[in-house]
């Protein structure tokens, strides 16, 4: 892990929704799934960020950290974002934490019992569609 990078927490979901979308590839194309926390609260993903400076330009970058899928997501995809629950935020964001073992403990799949998945309409695959029925 590069200590040059800043650790960040990125909110999953869009438009006030407490979940995110993930596609499963099938013989008939992509099947989107709505993924959310069972308690209905927003998902927060572990992320890293950096700012690159050079040639008179600045570029801000970020990435969501992924891990292997848990039992709930394994049928849909082979990896998933690292979902950080509230009790892990301070440790993840603390720049003074330099012990990689402490941080690696956070980079595990979340317990499958804490998230729910549901197949949703393929209408979500088009940016023209933007309504609540997409995740119903």
The domain segmentation of the chain, as residue ranges, is 6-122
Fold of 6-122: hypothetical protein yedk fold (3.90.1680)
More confident residue, 107 or 100: 107
- Over the chain, what is the mean pLDDT? 81
What local confidence, expressed as pLDDT, does residue 57 receive? Answer: 92
Contacts 24+ apart (CB under 8 A), 65-69: 65/107, 67/107, 67/108, 67/109, 68/109, 69/109
Work out the pLDDT band at 56, boundaries 50, 70, 90: very high
Work out the pLDDT band at 111, boundaries 50, 70, 90: very high
Mean pLDDT highest for which of 17-21, 45-49, 52-56, 68-72? 68-72
* Helix (H/G/I), strand (E/B), else coil: 114: helix
23-25-80 Cα angle (round to 5): 45
**Once rounded to an integer, what is the mean pLDDT over residues 10-18?**
47
SS3 content of the chain, % helix, strand, coil (to 5): 20, 40, 45
């Amino acid at each position: 892990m590069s200590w040059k990078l800043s650790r960040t927490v990125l909110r999953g979901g869009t438009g006030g929704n407490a979940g995110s979308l993930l596609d499963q590839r099938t013989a008939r194309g992509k099947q989107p799934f709505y993924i959310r926390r069972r308690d209905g609260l927003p998902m927060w993903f572990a992320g890293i960020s950096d700012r690159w400076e050079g040639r008179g330009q600045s570029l801000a970058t970020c990435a969501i950290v992924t891990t292997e899928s848990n039992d709930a997501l394994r049928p849909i995809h082979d990896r998933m974002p690292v979902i950080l629950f509230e009790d892990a935020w301070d440790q993840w964001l603390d720049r003074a934490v330099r012990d990689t073992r402490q941080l690696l403990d956070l980079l595990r799949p979340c317990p499958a019992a804490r998230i729910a998945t549901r197949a949703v309409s393929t209408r979500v695959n088009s940016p023209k569609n933007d309504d609540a029925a997409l995740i119903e």
